[in-house]
């Protein structure tokens, strides 16, 4: 069997870490099995879907390294949806309902006061043709519900194990609105069958939906005369470092925002690939290496905690191990040379941080002089160019012998004078970039 999975975002907004985790796991599973990853654009909501959002989604996925083998949009398949829905109507599985939103809310309130679950009572199934015509004469247009079996639906979930949803405990789902617009469920079920999706991998908030969708998929297979149910894997959802959901912060956690903030795509994929699994999170610039180790057997049931501090730390680790050649184009755009990168990369969290050291190495700064006499003595001991990494050790030893200072009292004032900063990269690497002339001037308290 060839594994075929899909990621199906709606182009009504930006994609964020929550749904990108689902995209990544689908991609990793497909690549680990030599399968196919399909990008399906769920744009049946044409009032809210935009080409701009679709383009943004595609750009974000490609930036993360999540390329697709096939892609299509649901808006190109309305004829298929109409064909299936007509067949479902003919079989009595899709039935018209004329209740208004107010009618349905009134029913739900009454059920709650009686201590009953707010499940649709199927009153529309008892309507006569005359009653339906009367409603339509009033100008009412029906919405269409799928008639569930009201029996337990069982499947083996690849993460949750044996799973049961009793469809008697849920309302018959509305598949088509009064205005004729298809809601998510029916097009998704038809597409999964027609595209021969073998595995549906998504968040556990869809578990109940899975019971409903399995019944709809079986009906689609029946009217299509071909097809096979996919397997399901419902993973835990992400929570924040505070233990709360991420829903109120999704704007700041969009992939577009992370890209604009200067995060590395490998940091995001390295973290999201392992969150919720038994494996430790580790920097992995090679996304195919993540695929090779992906296995549902390693996935747990507990909510996965997403902490932006962990993401930043991982981002730093990835940058620390990358050579200049891997980042040359981006660093050159920042004006960062290879020598500067190799000197400062151990002290950056984001790539843009490297540019902050340009002035220290090559420009003019305001030195911080704690002891003018000490600094003046040190200025006279700076060796001539060309300086090397060995020059720093020799210079510090001269200053130590001349002034009698050592330890922090020796190193701290030299760093402040030469860089204007309390902390930073190893001075042995920075010293040659600063050069003898600038070093002497800064030790004399001059802006250089």
- Residues 184-222: tens digit of each pLDDT: 999 999 999 999 999 999 999 999 999 999 999 999 999
pLDDT at 153: 98
Residue identified by tokens 């309390």 is: 422
Q: Is the pLDDT of residue 244 over 80?
A: no
pTM over 0.75: yes
DSSP string, 253-275: TBHHHHHHTT--HHHHHHHHHHT
How far apart CA 155 and CA 24 sit, in angstroms, is: 24
Domain coordinates in residue numbering, the chain: 324-361, 364-443
How far apart CA 282 and CA 176 sit, in angstroms, is: 46
Question: CA 374 from chain center: how many Å?
Answer: 53
Answer whether 236's CB lies under 8 Å from 21's CB.
Answer: no
Residues ≥6 apart with Cβ < 8 Å to 57: 9, 11, 14, 15, 41
Residue 80: CB atoms within 10 Å: 15
DSSP string, 372-432: HHHHHHHHTTPPPSSP-HHHHHHHHHHHHHHH---THHHHHHHHHHHHSSSS-S-HHHHHH
- Of the pLDDT bands very low, low, confident and very high (cuts 50, 70, 90), residue 250 is low
Q: Is the pLDDT of residue 251 over 80?
A: no
Answer whether 190's CB lies under 8 Å from 76's CB.
Answer: no
Q: Is the pLDDT of residue 252 over 80?
A: no
Among 146, 164, 145, 163, which Cα is nearest to 217's?
146
Q: Is the peptide bond before 27 cis (omega within 30 degrees of 0)?
A: no
* 364-443 has CATH 1.10.10.350 classification: yes
- Residues 260-283: tens digit of each pLDDT: 899 999 999 999 999 999 999 999
How far apart CA 338 and CA 102 sit, in angstroms, is: 67
What's the average model confidence in pLDDT over 337-343?
A: 94
How far apart CA 339 and CA 395 sit, in angstroms, is: 20
- Residues 290-339: tens digit of each pLDDT: 999 999 999 999 998 999 999 999 999 999 999 999 999 999 999 999 99
Q: What are phi and psi of 185, to 5 degrees?
A: -65, -50
- Of the pLDDT bands very low, low, confident and very high (cuts 50, 70, 90), residue 230 is very high
Percent of the chain exceeding pLDDT 70 equals: 99
pLDDT at 402: 94
Tokens of 335: 């004006």
């Amino acid at each position: 069997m060839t594994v075929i999975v899909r990621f199906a975002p709606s182009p009504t907004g930006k994609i964020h870490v929550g749904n990108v985790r689902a995209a990544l796991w689908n991609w990793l599973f497909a690549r680990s099995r030599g399968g196919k990853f399909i990008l399906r654009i769920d744009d049946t909501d044409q009032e809210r879907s935009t080409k701009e959002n679709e383009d943004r989604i595609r750009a974000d996925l490609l930036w993360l390294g999540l390329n697709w083998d096939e892609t299509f949009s649901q808006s190109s398949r309305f004829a298929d949806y109409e064909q299936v829905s007509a067949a479902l109507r003919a079989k009595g599985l899709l039935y018209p309902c004329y209740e208004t939103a107010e009618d349905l809310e009134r029913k739900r309130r009454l059920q709650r006061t009686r201590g009953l679950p707010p499940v649709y009572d199927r009153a529309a199934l008892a309507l006569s043709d005359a009653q339906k015509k009367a409603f339509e004469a009033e100008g009412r247009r029906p919405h269409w519900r799928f008639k569930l079996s009201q029996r337990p639906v069982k499947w083996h979930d690849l993460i949750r194990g044996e799973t049961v949803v009793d469809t008697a405990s849920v309302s018959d789902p509305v598949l088509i609105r009064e205005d004729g617009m298809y809601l998510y469920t029916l097009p998704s079920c038809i597409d999964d069958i027609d595209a021969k999706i073998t595995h549906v991998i998504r968040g556990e908030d869809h578990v109940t939906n899975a019971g409903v969708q399995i019944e709809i998929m079986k009906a689609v297979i029946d009217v299509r005369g071909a097809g096979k149910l996919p397997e399901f894997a419902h993973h835990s959802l992400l929570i924040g470092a505070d233990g709360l959901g991420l829903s109120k912060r999704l704007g700041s956690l969009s992939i577009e925002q992370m890209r604009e903030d200067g995060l590395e795509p490998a940091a995001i994929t390295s973290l999201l690939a392992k969150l919720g699994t038994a494996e430790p999170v580790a920097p992995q610039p090679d996304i195919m290496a993540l695929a090779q180790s992906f296995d549902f057997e390693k996935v747990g049931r507990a909510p996965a905690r997403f902490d932006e501090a962990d993401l930043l730390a991982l981002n730093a680790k990835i940058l620390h191990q990358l050579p200049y050649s891997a980042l040359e184009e981006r660093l050159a755009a920042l004006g960062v040379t290879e020598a500067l990168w190799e000197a400062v990369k151990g002290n950056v969290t984001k790539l843009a941080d490297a540019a902050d050291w340009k002035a220290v190495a090559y420009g003019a700064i305001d030195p911080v002089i704690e002891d003018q006499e000490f600094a003046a003595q040190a200025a006279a001991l700076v060796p001539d160019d060309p300086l090397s990494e060995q020059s720093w050790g020799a210079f510090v030893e001269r200053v130590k012998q001349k002034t009698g200072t050592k330890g922090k009292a020796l190193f701290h004032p030299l760093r402040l004078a030469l860089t204007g900063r309390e902390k930073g990269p190893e001075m042995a690497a920075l010293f040659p970039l600063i050069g003898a002339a600038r070093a002497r001037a800064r030790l004399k308290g001059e802006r250089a």
